Copies of this chain bind each other. A is one copy, B any other.
Protein backbone atom coordinates (compact mmCIF):
# COMPACT_ATOMS: atom_id res chain seq x y z
CA UNK A 1 0.00 0.00 0.00
CA UNK A 2 1.37 3.37 -0.95
CA UNK A 3 1.58 6.18 1.56
CA UNK A 4 -1.51 8.16 2.46
CA UNK A 5 -1.27 11.65 1.01
CA UNK A 6 -2.44 14.32 3.44
CA UNK A 7 -3.16 18.03 3.38
CA UNK A 8 -3.06 19.73 6.77
CA UNK A 9 -5.07 22.86 7.58
CA UNK A 10 -4.82 24.88 10.77
CA UNK A 11 -4.68 28.63 11.30
CA UNK A 12 -2.32 28.47 14.25
CA UNK A 13 1.22 28.32 12.93
CA UNK A 14 2.60 26.38 15.88
CA UNK A 15 -0.05 23.72 15.67
CA UNK A 16 0.19 23.48 11.92
CA UNK A 17 3.97 23.15 11.85
CA UNK A 18 3.85 20.75 14.78
CA UNK A 19 1.37 18.55 13.02
CA UNK A 20 3.34 18.52 9.80
CA UNK A 21 6.51 17.60 11.62
CA UNK A 22 4.79 14.89 13.64
CA UNK A 23 3.05 13.35 10.68
CA UNK A 24 6.17 13.30 8.56
CA UNK A 25 7.73 11.02 11.14
CA UNK A 26 4.93 8.49 10.73
CA UNK A 27 5.38 5.66 8.25
CA UNK A 28 2.76 5.52 5.54
CA UNK A 29 1.85 9.17 5.88
CA UNK A 30 2.86 11.76 3.32
CA UNK A 31 2.13 15.42 4.00
CA UNK A 32 1.81 17.10 0.64
CA UNK A 33 0.70 20.59 1.69
CA UNK A 34 -0.33 22.80 4.59
CA UNK A 35 -2.98 25.52 4.63
CA UNK A 36 -3.58 28.30 7.13
CA UNK A 37 -7.26 28.89 6.46
CA UNK A 38 -10.29 27.16 5.01
CA UNK A 39 -10.18 28.68 1.56
CA UNK A 40 -6.55 27.81 1.14
CA UNK A 41 -7.33 24.28 2.30
CA UNK A 42 -9.99 23.84 -0.36
CA UNK A 43 -7.64 25.26 -2.99
CA UNK A 44 -4.80 22.97 -1.96
CA UNK A 45 -7.08 19.95 -2.02
CA UNK A 46 -8.09 20.83 -5.57
CA UNK A 47 -4.45 21.20 -6.50
CA UNK A 48 -3.00 18.09 -4.87
CA UNK A 49 -6.01 15.79 -4.73
CA UNK A 50 -4.86 14.16 -1.49
CA UNK A 51 -6.36 11.06 0.15
CA UNK A 52 -7.17 12.94 3.31
CA UNK A 53 -7.62 16.49 4.53
CA UNK A 54 -6.78 16.99 8.19
CA UNK A 55 -8.54 20.17 9.17
CA UNK A 56 -9.05 22.29 12.26
CA UNK A 57 -12.61 23.33 13.05
CA UNK A 58 -11.97 26.91 14.08
CA UNK A 59 -10.44 28.81 11.24
CA UNK A 60 -10.81 32.21 9.63
CA UNK A 61 -12.16 32.74 6.10
CA UNK A 62 -14.03 29.47 5.93
CA UNK A 63 -14.28 27.22 8.93
CA UNK A 64 -13.75 23.49 9.17
CA UNK A 65 -17.38 22.58 8.63
CA UNK A 66 -17.63 24.66 5.50
CA UNK A 67 -14.32 23.37 4.20
CA UNK A 68 -15.48 19.83 4.85
CA UNK A 69 -18.67 20.38 2.96
CA UNK A 70 -16.92 21.86 -0.07
CA UNK A 71 -14.24 19.21 -0.21
CA UNK A 72 -16.75 16.40 0.08
CA UNK A 73 -18.89 17.96 -2.60
CA UNK A 74 -16.15 18.73 -5.11
CA UNK A 75 -13.59 16.04 -4.34
CA UNK A 76 -15.29 12.83 -3.28
CA UNK A 77 -11.94 11.07 -3.45
CA UNK A 78 -10.64 13.09 -0.53
CA UNK A 79 -11.76 12.10 2.94
CA UNK A 80 -11.87 14.62 5.78
CA UNK A 81 -10.65 14.21 9.32
CA UNK A 82 -11.49 16.97 11.75
CA UNK A 83 -9.16 18.04 14.51
CA UNK A 84 -10.34 20.29 17.28
CA UNK A 85 -9.45 21.48 20.74
CA UNK A 86 -12.85 20.91 22.25
CA UNK A 87 -15.20 18.10 21.56
CA UNK A 88 -17.84 20.79 21.37
CA UNK A 89 -21.32 19.45 20.78
CA UNK A 90 -22.46 21.81 18.11
CA UNK A 91 -19.67 21.72 15.58
CA UNK A 92 -19.05 18.01 15.96
CA UNK A 93 -22.39 17.02 14.55
CA UNK A 94 -22.24 19.69 11.89
CA UNK A 95 -18.88 18.47 10.72
CA UNK A 96 -19.94 14.84 10.68
CA UNK A 97 -23.07 15.72 8.81
CA UNK A 98 -20.98 17.68 6.37
CA UNK A 99 -19.18 14.45 5.59
CA UNK A 100 -16.21 14.23 7.92
CA UNK A 101 -14.89 10.72 8.36
CA UNK A 102 -13.07 11.18 11.59
CA UNK A 103 -13.02 13.38 14.61
CA UNK A 104 -10.03 13.89 16.89
CA UNK A 105 -9.24 16.16 19.77
CA UNK A 106 -5.89 17.87 19.96
CA UNK A 107 -4.76 15.79 22.92
CA UNK A 108 -4.55 12.79 20.61
CA UNK A 109 -1.03 11.41 20.19
CA UNK A 110 0.73 11.05 16.85
CA UNK A 111 -0.12 7.38 16.55
CA UNK A 112 -3.80 8.02 17.05
CA UNK A 113 -3.80 10.71 14.41
CA UNK A 114 -1.90 8.47 12.05
CA UNK A 115 -4.37 5.66 12.60
CA UNK A 116 -7.26 8.00 11.93
CA UNK A 117 -5.71 9.16 8.66
CA UNK A 118 -5.06 5.60 7.52
CA UNK A 119 -8.58 4.60 8.47
CA UNK A 120 -10.13 7.54 6.67
CA UNK A 121 -8.15 6.78 3.53
CA UNK A 122 -9.54 3.23 3.70
CA UNK A 123 -13.10 4.46 4.09
CA UNK A 124 -13.39 3.70 7.75
CA UNK A 125 -14.11 6.33 10.32
CA UNK A 126 -12.38 6.99 13.59
CA UNK A 127 -13.96 9.01 16.31
CA UNK A 128 -12.59 10.43 19.49
CA UNK A 129 -13.95 8.36 22.35
CA UNK A 130 -15.78 11.30 23.88
CA UNK A 131 -17.40 12.18 20.59
CA UNK A 132 -18.61 8.67 20.06
CA UNK A 133 -20.02 8.61 23.53
CA UNK A 134 -22.01 11.74 22.81
CA UNK A 135 -23.09 10.39 19.50
CA UNK A 136 -24.47 7.27 21.04
CA UNK A 137 -26.09 9.40 23.68
CA UNK A 138 -27.66 6.97 26.11
CA UNK A 139 -24.25 6.04 27.43
CA UNK A 140 -25.76 5.79 30.88
CA UNK A 141 -23.56 3.18 32.43
CA UNK A 142 -25.76 0.51 33.94
CA UNK A 143 -25.70 -0.11 37.65
CA UNK A 144 -25.77 -3.83 38.28
CA UNK A 145 -25.71 -3.02 41.98
CA UNK A 146 -29.15 -2.27 43.38
CA UNK A 147 -31.18 -4.53 41.15
CA UNK A 148 -29.72 -7.41 43.11
CA UNK A 149 -32.40 -6.82 45.71
CA UNK A 150 -35.16 -7.38 43.20
CA UNK A 151 -34.93 -11.15 43.56
CA UNK A 152 -34.74 -11.53 39.80
CA UNK A 153 -32.41 -14.05 38.21
CA UNK A 154 -29.79 -12.78 35.74
CA UNK A 155 -31.77 -14.17 32.86
CA UNK A 156 -34.94 -12.49 34.02
CA UNK A 157 -33.12 -9.20 34.26
CA UNK A 158 -31.87 -9.62 30.72
CA UNK A 159 -35.39 -10.24 29.53
CA UNK A 160 -36.67 -7.26 31.48
CA UNK A 161 -34.11 -5.02 29.85
CA UNK A 162 -35.15 -6.15 26.41
CA UNK A 163 -38.80 -5.59 27.26
CA UNK A 164 -37.88 -2.08 28.30
CA UNK A 165 -36.30 -1.60 24.89
CA UNK A 166 -39.71 -2.24 23.38
CA UNK A 167 -38.98 -5.65 21.89
CA UNK A 168 -41.73 -8.20 21.31
CA UNK A 169 -41.49 -11.73 22.67
CA UNK A 170 -40.39 -13.15 19.35
CA UNK A 171 -37.73 -10.48 19.03
CA UNK A 172 -36.48 -11.22 22.50
CA UNK A 173 -36.39 -14.92 21.70
CA UNK A 174 -34.30 -14.25 18.61
CA UNK A 175 -31.97 -11.97 20.51
CA UNK A 176 -31.36 -14.45 23.31
CA UNK A 177 -31.35 -17.39 20.94
CA UNK A 178 -34.02 -19.31 22.83
CA UNK A 179 -37.60 -20.28 22.00
CA UNK A 180 -40.50 -17.92 22.52
CA UNK A 181 -41.89 -20.33 25.10
CA UNK A 182 -38.83 -19.80 27.23
CA UNK A 183 -39.15 -16.06 26.98
CA UNK A 184 -42.75 -16.28 28.13
CA UNK A 185 -41.71 -18.38 31.07
CA UNK A 186 -39.11 -15.86 32.16
CA UNK A 187 -41.61 -13.08 31.73
CA UNK A 188 -44.24 -14.83 33.80
CA UNK A 189 -41.71 -15.44 36.54
CA UNK A 190 -40.52 -11.87 36.65
CA UNK A 191 -44.09 -10.56 36.54
CA UNK A 192 -44.92 -12.68 39.57
CA UNK A 193 -41.80 -11.65 41.47
CA UNK A 194 -42.10 -7.95 40.78
CA UNK A 195 -45.87 -7.93 41.01
CA UNK A 196 -46.38 -6.68 37.47
CA UNK A 197 -49.46 -7.15 35.34
CA UNK A 198 -48.22 -6.57 31.80
CA UNK A 199 -45.15 -5.51 29.88
CA UNK A 200 -46.13 -1.86 30.05
CA UNK A 201 -45.78 -1.95 33.82
CA UNK A 202 -42.60 -3.91 33.31
CA UNK A 203 -41.10 -1.12 31.22
CA UNK A 204 -41.92 1.43 33.91
CA UNK A 205 -40.43 -0.90 36.50
CA UNK A 206 -37.24 -1.28 34.45
CA UNK A 207 -36.88 2.47 34.08
CA UNK A 208 -37.30 2.98 37.80
CA UNK A 209 -34.63 0.35 38.38
CA UNK A 210 -32.35 2.28 36.10
CA UNK A 211 -32.17 -0.48 33.52
CA UNK A 212 -32.82 1.92 30.70
- A positions within 8 Å CB-CB of B: 1, 59-63, 65-66, 69, 73, 93-94, 96-97, 101, 108, 111-112, 115-116, 118-119, 122-129, 132, 135-140, 142, 144, 158, 163-166, 168, 175-177, 196-204, 207, 212
Contact = CB atoms under 8 A, between A and B. Distances in A.
A66 B196 CA distance: 25
A63 B176 contact: yes
Contacts of A60: 177
Contact of A124 (B112, B123, B175, B197): B112
Contacts of A126: 119, 124-127
A65 B175 CA distance: 9
Contacts of A108: 124
Contact of A115 (B62, B122, B207): B122
16 contacts: A1-B111, A62-B177, A63-B175, A63-B176, A93-B136, A96-B136, A97-B140, A111-B122, A115-B122, A124-B128, A125-B132, A135-B136, A137-B142, A166-B196, A199-B199, A200-B200
